[in-house]
Structure 1
Amino acid sequence: MLNCHKVYRAIHQALIKALGIEMKGNQARHMNIMAGFICGIVQSGEVKLAEVASEIPKAGQEESKIMQLRRWLKNEAVDIDLYYLPYIKQILKALAKQTIVLIIDGSTTASGCVTLMVSVLYKADRKDSCVFG
């Protein structure tokens, strides 16, 4: 669990530094949850909420952590422009000198809405490939 704390702290500091502004109140709380979410994904290597929640370095029941992540994902106050776009821009900027492949996937939901997901595929070296979605 000690490693989880180090990873969380490093992720949190990097997110704040990349954003370049000081957050207070609900924005700071949302940023803490996002840092925990990223930490859980990095530590578990999974995106299943149960696996992610088990790796978040926070006191409390795992089910409570899962519910917190679900609420964060559904929260309309978690603004794309503030919580996602600054980091996506930095990732794309870092990858700009490499060949970038965009993977576009569209799917229709039961209600007839079309969901579009764009992912970036890049090759770190010949052995590894990584996907950001």
Structure 2
Amino acid sequence: MGDNHQVYRRINQGLRQLYPKQLTGRQARHLNTLADMVSGIVRSGQCQMKAMGKKAPDKSKVESRSKRFTRYVQNEQVDAQTYYLPFIVPLLVGLARCGPLVLVMDGSEVGRGCLALVISVVYKKRALPLMWLVVKGNKGHFLKKRI
């Protein structure tokens, strides 16, 4: 079994153990895609869809995987309440065992006249996003009214 597949399998098993309820068929497929994306990020060290697709253990073409990941993040049925929030507390608890938690806040331009305010936890010199807010606006400071 290849290293990519071992990473994927461990991530998928970990996500399923943390998930608070029994998965439906559609939820299981979405969780598999999420595990594919996370393993692609872990193996490539990048979060661009194509880079994740190159390292995901799927046998489909890289372009097909990249498109599947794009559809996943654009899918309105994939909501944070179901596919993201159940994993935040266990992540923070696990990271807290390694040492003090360091949170950072960053405002960035994210294209087409939008700004993102992101709160991340720092782990091994990487910022892991915990929550974010995207608003229309110009480059510069976030106004209190926007938040």
With the shorter chain as reference, the TM-score category is: 0.7 to 0.9
Q: Which amino acid aligns with 2:58?
A: K
Percent of aligned positions that are identical? 37
TM-score (normalizing by structure 2): 0.76
Aligned length: 128
- 8 Å CA contact 1:16, 1:22 repeated in 2: no
1:125 corresponds in structure 2 to none
Change (3 A) 1:96 1:67: same
C-alpha separation in 1, matches of 2:122 and 2:61: 35
C-alpha separation in 1, matches of 2:33 and 2:106: 27
**Counterparts in 2 of 1:1-133, with a 5 A limit?**
2-96=2-96, 98-107=99-108, 113-122=114-123, 128-133=124-129
Change (3 A) 1:113 1:45: closer
- 8 Å CA contact 1:36, 1:56 repeated in 2: yes
TM-score (normalizing by structure 1): 0.84
Q: Which amino acid aligns with 1:7?
A: V
56-65 or 33-42: which moved more? Answer: 56-65
Q: Which amino acid aligns with 1:16?
A: R
1:25, distance to aligned residue in structure 2 (A): 1.9
C-alpha separation in 2, matches of 1:81 and 1:2: 33
C-alpha separation in 2, matches of 1:107 and 1:5: 34
RMSD of the alignment, in Å?
2.0
Structure 1 gaps, min length 5: 123-127
1:109, distance to aligned residue in structure 2 (A): 5.8
Structure 2 gaps, min length 5: 130-147
Deviations for 1:99-130, whole angstroms, at most 9, x for unmatched residues?
Answer: 222211224566655422110124xxxxx434
C-alpha separation in 2, matches of 1:52 and 1:13: 19
